[in-house]
Amino acid sequence: MRFRTVQPADERESGRSPGFENLPAIVAAAASLRAVRAEAAAEAERLRGLVERIRTRVPELVPDIEVVGDPERRLPHLVTFSCLYVDGEALLHELDRAEFSVSSGSSCTSSTLTPSHVLRAMGVLSEGNVRVSLPRGTAEADVDRFLEALPGVVAGVRERLGAPKAAEAEAAADPQPEPEPEPGLVVDSLGKRCPIPVIELAKVIGEVPVGGVVTVLADDEAARLDIPAWCEMRGQAYEGERPADRGVAYRVRRRA
C-alpha cells in the first residue's frame, strides 16, 4: 500500500510532504495577534473607566446599596453591587424589561438556587446582588441610560416587597432615648424567603432601645448570609445564630 497525502505535495519525501510552511500566513497571524492585544488593552482601559463611573454613581443614586470587590484589583469590565431589601430575580426581570441584561450572584453559582459560597466568603448579601458585565464596544450612553433607569427599578421592587423607604430606615436606625430597657423583639420570618426576613428586621429595629436585641426566626438558608451582611451595612451588631424549634434564630443587637 502506498501512502498518498491528501494535501498538495512537492518533491520532498517522495511526495509525502504536504509542501512548504505558509510563511505569509504565519507572519499575518503574528501581526494580527499583536494588533488584537493592543486593541484589547485599549478597550480594557476604556471599559475600566465606565465601570468606575458605575461604581461611583450607583451608591449616590440608590440608597442602601453596597458596591463590592476591590476598587483596583478587579476585572476591567465587571462590577458587582448588593441592594438591600430586594429580591435578586425580581430585580433582574425588571432590568430585563428595561432592556438591560445583568446577572445575580457569583458567576460560578449562577445556575444554582443555593446561596453563593463566593458571596459568603466576601460577607455580602446573597439576595439583591447584581453583577454587571460590560461587553466590548459598550457605549458611554448605554451606561448613562442604565444609571438613569436603576433607581426607579430598585424602588419599584422594594415597594412591591414592602421594604422600608430610605427615610424610614434612617429613622429606625436613629437612637431613641428609652427610660428603661425593654425586652427584645422576635420576628417570625419562618417560611419566608430572603429578602423578606431582612425587610422585617429593618422595620422593627427602631422599636427596641439602643442595646436591645431583635431575634429573627428564619428557615431560608440565605438568611445566614443576608442578616449579617445587613448588620454590616446598617451599623448594627450581629451576635450570631442558634438552632430554634423551627429554623434558626438570628440575634441582632441595636447599636447607638
Residue 84, pLDDT score = 87
Range of the domain at 220: 182-253
* 108 carries an active-site annotation: yes
Pair 67, 142 in one domain: yes
Q: What is the pLDDT of residue 53?
A: 96
Per-residue pLDDT tens digits for 9-37: 666 666 666 666 778 889 999 999 999 99
Options 83, 108, 194, 231, the catalytic residue: 108
In a domain, 22, yes or no: no
State the pLDDT confidence band at 114, using cuts at 50, 70 and 90. Answer: low
Residue 167 has φ and ψ, to the nearest 5°, of -65, -40
Cβ contacts of residue 207 below 8 Å, gap of 6+? 172, 185
- What residue has cell string 422585617? 200
Shared domain check, 121 and 82? yes
For 7-11, 52-56, 135-139, 171-175, which range has the lowest pLDDT when averaged over its residues?
Answer: 171-175
Q: What pLDDT, in 10s, does the model give residues 206-240?
A: 899 999 999 999 999 888 888 998 898 889 999 99
Report residue 61 CA to chain centroid gap. Answer: 17
The CA-CA-CA angle for residues 103, 104, 105, to 5°, reads 130
| Residues 155 and 201 grouped into a single domain | no
Strands 185-188, 213-218: pairing kind? parallel
Beta strand 248-253 with 78-83 is: unpaired
What CATH number has the domain bearing residue 210? Answer: 3.30.110.40
pLDDT band at 136 (very low <50, low <70, confident <90, very high): very high
- Asked if the structure places residue 21 within a domain, the reply is no
Mark whether 153 and 199 lie in a shared domain. no
User: Residues 196, 156: one domain?
Assistant: no
